[in-house]
Amino acid sequence: MKLTNHNKNNHYTIDTFSIWGTIEINQKEYKKVYEFLMAKRDKAIIDVETYMRDSLENIKYFQNKTAGDLFSFGVLATQLVAKKYGLKNYKKQNYGIKIIN
């Protein structure tokens, strides 16, 4: 897993949001990240943590991503991943997830 920040004014735009960096991840790591985020989402539903529940609601749509895909979980999900896996130089902003082989 590798985090890359993009320089100022050098970012991707996908649909209506900007990605200010990328996290490259292989398929095996992605499966673990997906399961981790789904567990956080399910716990938030049970504990009625509305901010976390609502922020992680879209995670379920990212189950079948494959190598070469570039997408974004959103800021909160990216924060959780960066904290759990100790990604250095993480900034609180939107990052793209890029699955590599």
Question: What's the mean pLDDT in 25-36?
Answer: 93
From residue 18, give the alpha-carbon distance in Å to each of 44, 45, 49, 71: 26, 28, 26, 11
**pLDDT tens digits for 34-84?**
999 999 999 998 888 888 888 888 888 888 888 888 888 888 898 999 999
Which pLDDT value is given to residue 99? 92
Find the Cα–Cα–Cα–Cα dihedral 22, 28, 32, 38, rounded to 10°: 80
Which pLDDT value is given to residue 70? 83
**pLDDT tens digits for 81-93?**
999 999 988 888 8
Find the Cα–Cα–Cα–Cα dihedral 64, 66, 71, 75, rounded to 10°: 70
The angle that helices 75-85 and 27-47 make with each other, rounded to 10 degrees, is 120
Q: Tell me which residue has tokens 């990328």.
A: 22
